[in-house]
Structure formats: C-alpha cells, structure tokens
C-alpha cells in the first residue's frame, strides 16, 4: 500500500472508531431509551440502530425485560380464555392495551394457543378445484369472497396447489 492509501485508511478507521462520548451515551441511556431512539436522538443517525445494539452487547449491557413484556398469571388466563374469540389486534385492544400486538402474538404462539382452522372443507375443495386454473383475485371474487387474496395464496401454498401462471406464447 502506498503512503497515501495508508493515511486514507487510518483516517477512515479513526472516523469509524467508536468515540468515548458515544459509548457514554449508550451507558447513560440504555435503560430509558431503545437502541433505535439512542441512534436517532443522541447520535443523530451517525450510528444505526444495529450498530448501537451491537456495541451495547459488546459492552456487556443487556436490555432487561420491560414490565409490560412480562405476562402475569391473570393476563395469561385472560389470553387463554379469549384467544379463540378474537384475533391478536382485538385481544390487544380489548384486554391488553399496555402490550403490543406482536407481544400478544408471541404470547399466544409460545403457549401453543392456536385458533381453529378458518377454512371449511367446502372452501378447501373449491380451492383445490379452481386454484390451479384461476388467478387469486378471480378465486376471491367468484368463489371465496370472505377470504383475502393473501389467505388464498397461503392456503394454496399449504396444500401444494400450483398457482395460476400466465404464459406468453410466441407464434
């Protein structure tokens, strides 16, 4: 490497090296702010959320579970009593306003709480019959109006139904 390249590399490495004030920002704020907030508010976007998280972990600073992430026995019972009646968003809105939809979903999944299948045997039969030859939107419009296009796609994939394909024939 030439002298100029070595100097340029040294400048680059110095620029990228974590400064002591950045490390202090992480130390002082990790309990009250997320890594994303530390990145945006205190480091003004000079370090990404991922970089902050990685440096925090390298420093041995662990995030403790926040109170709203811990499920009490009463909350678990409410979840068990209602998971079949409501979807995650509805559960969160009606029973767990202090939790996120993702936390409700994770709590359900980790406890093996699954709703009954939402597809009737007649709907699956229609999908098997028309799925290989029709577009998802057409299936929805003509045969499965109470299903979303995504639900149709996921169920086709689950049952191994090859999708409708458009072929451009050259004459």
Q: How far apart are CA 30 and CA 7, in angstroms?
A: 35
Sign of the torsion formed by the C-alpha atoms of 34, 38, 44 and 46: negative
Residue 169 reports pLDDT greater than 60? no
pLDDT confidence of residue 170: 55
Average pLDDT over residues 118-140: 90
pTM (2 decimals)?
A: 0.40
For residues 126 and 144, the answer to whether their CB atoms sit within 8 Å is yes
Residue 101 reports pLDDT greater than 80? yes
Name the phi and psi angles at 9, rounded to 5: -65, -45
Average pLDDT over residues 103-131: 87
Helix (H) / strand (E) containing 13: helix 3-16
Model confidence over 33-56: pLDDT tens digits? Answer: 888 889 999 998 889 999 999 999
Residue 167 reports pLDDT greater than 60? no
For tokens 């990404």, the residue is 48
Model confidence over 137-163: pLDDT tens digits? Answer: 999 999 999 888 888 888 888 888 886
Average pLDDT over residues 70-86: 90
DSSP state of 65: P
Angle subtended at Cα 42 by Cα 40 and Cα 43, rounded to the nearest 5 degrees: 70
For residues 146 and 137, the answer to whether their CB atoms sit within 8 Å is no
> Which residue, among 111, 110, 130, 127, has the nearest Cα to 119 in the 3D structure?
127
pLDDT confidence of residue 166: 56
Alpha helix stretches (DSSP H) within 59-131: 73-82, 88-94, 101-110, 121-130
Average pLDDT over residues 22-31: 92
What's the mean per-residue pLDDT of the chain?
86
Q: How far apart are CA 145 and CA 139, in angstroms?
A: 8
């Amino acid at each position: 490497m030439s002298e100029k390249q070595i100097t340029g590399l040294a400048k680059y490495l110095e620029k990228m090296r974590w400064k002591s004030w950045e490390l202090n920002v992480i130390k002082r704020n990790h309990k009250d702010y997320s890594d994303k907030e530390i990145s945006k508010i205190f480091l003004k976007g000079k370090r990404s959320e991922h970089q902050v998280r990685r440096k925090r972990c390298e420093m041995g600073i662990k995030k403790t579970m926040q109170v709203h992430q811990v499920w009490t026995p009463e909350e678990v019972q409410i979840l068990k009593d209602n998971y079949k009646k409501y979807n995650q968003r509805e559960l969160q809105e009606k029973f767990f306003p202090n939790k996120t939809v993702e936390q409700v979903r994770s709590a359900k999944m980790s406890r093996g709480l699954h709703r009954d299948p939402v597809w009737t045997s007649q709907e699956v039969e229609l999908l098997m019959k028309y799925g290989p030859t029709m577009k998802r939107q057409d299936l929805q419009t003509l045969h499965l109006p109470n299903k979303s296009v995504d639900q149709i796609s996921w169920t086709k994939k689950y049952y191994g139904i090859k999708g409708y394909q458009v072929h451009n024939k050259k004459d």
